[in-house]
């Protein structure tokens, strides 16, 4: 399974604790790369799949759906950050378990809260790019019923072409 982020981004999210994530730490950089990052990416992909996106989300996949390339790139970078944040929360809990407090206001908990808030935003659709074309590559209609002819009360059937909507 792949992930959206690299271990270097996890180290960045860990801040001052990032220097403690090494080849011999618990967890090791290898464990973060091979286990934690893909697990977190799987959680993110589960949320995105519920929203109807093909996972894993790729720049090529989003642009093929008609998402602007700049928007698609920013969304991929957002997923990278969210992936790294979730992995940093799990790694921090193992790197510095002594940071846990009775009030549960520890650094690992703070990272986890940020990650969970990011997942909740994805779940609600906030920040998830919308495709500008339908699955056939043509504009798609968004109404649930067609308008009717005022004289005959017959339903008009629209025809969607590459040049737009024809009634």
127/138 same-domain check: no
44/99 same-domain check: yes
21/39 same-domain check: yes
The pLDDT tens digits for 99-151 are 666 666 788 889 999 999 999 999 999 989 986 444 444 444 444 555 666 67
State the burial class of residue 52 (Cβ atoms within 10 Å of its Cβ: 0-12, 13-18, 19+): exposed
139/118 same-domain check: no
Q: Share the mean pLDDT of the chain.
A: 84
Q: What residues make up the domain containing 149?
A: 134-167
User: Is residue 138 in some structural domain?
Assistant: yes
41/109 same-domain check: yes
User: Is residue 117 in some structural domain?
Assistant: yes
Picking from 37, 70, 72, 35, the residue whose alpha carbon sits closest to that of residue 53 is: 72
First to last CA, the chain: 48
Three-state DSSP class for residue 148 = strand
45/122 same-domain check: yes
Helices (H), the chain: 7-13, 29-31, 37-50, 59-64, 69-95, 107-124
Cis peptide before 56 (omega within 30 of 0): yes
pLDDT of 152 reads 78
Picking from 51, 62, 22, the residue whose alpha carbon sits closest to that of residue 121 is: 51
User: Is residue 167 in some structural domain?
Assistant: yes
Distinct helix (H) and strand (E) counts, the chain: 6, 2
User: Is residue 2 in some structural domain?
Assistant: no
106/155 same-domain check: no
pLDDT of 85 reads 97
Name the residue with higher pLDDT: 76 or 167. Answer: 76
- Residues 24-32 have a mean pLDDT of 97
pLDDT at 38 over 60: yes
Question: Whole-angstrom Cα distance, residue 102 to residue 85?
Answer: 23
Confidence of residue 164 (pLDDT cuts 50, 70, 90): low
148/127 same-domain check: no
pTM for the whole thing?
0.76
16/88 same-domain check: yes
């Amino acid at each position: 399974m792949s992930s959206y982020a690299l271990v270097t981004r996890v180290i960045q999210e860990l801040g001052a604790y990032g220097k403690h994530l090494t080849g011999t730490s618990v967890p090791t950089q290898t464990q973060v790369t091979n286990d934690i990052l893909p697990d977190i990416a799987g959680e993110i992909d589960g949320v995105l799949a519920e929203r109807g996106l093909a996972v894993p989300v790729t720049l090529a996949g989003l642009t093929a759906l008609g998402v602007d390339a700049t928007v698609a790139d920013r969304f991929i970078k957002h997923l990278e950050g969210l992936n790294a944040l979730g992995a940093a929360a799990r790694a921090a809990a193992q790197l510095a378990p002594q940071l846990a407090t009775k009030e549960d206001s520890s650094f690992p908990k703070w990272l986890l809260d940020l990650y969970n808030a990011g997942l909740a935003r994805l779940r609600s659709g906030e920040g998830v790019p919308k495709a500008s074309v339908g699955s056939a590559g043509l504009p798609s209609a968004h109404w649930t019923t067609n308008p009717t002819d005022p004289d005959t009360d017959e339903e008009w059937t629209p025809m969607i072409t590459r040049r737009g909507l024809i009634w």
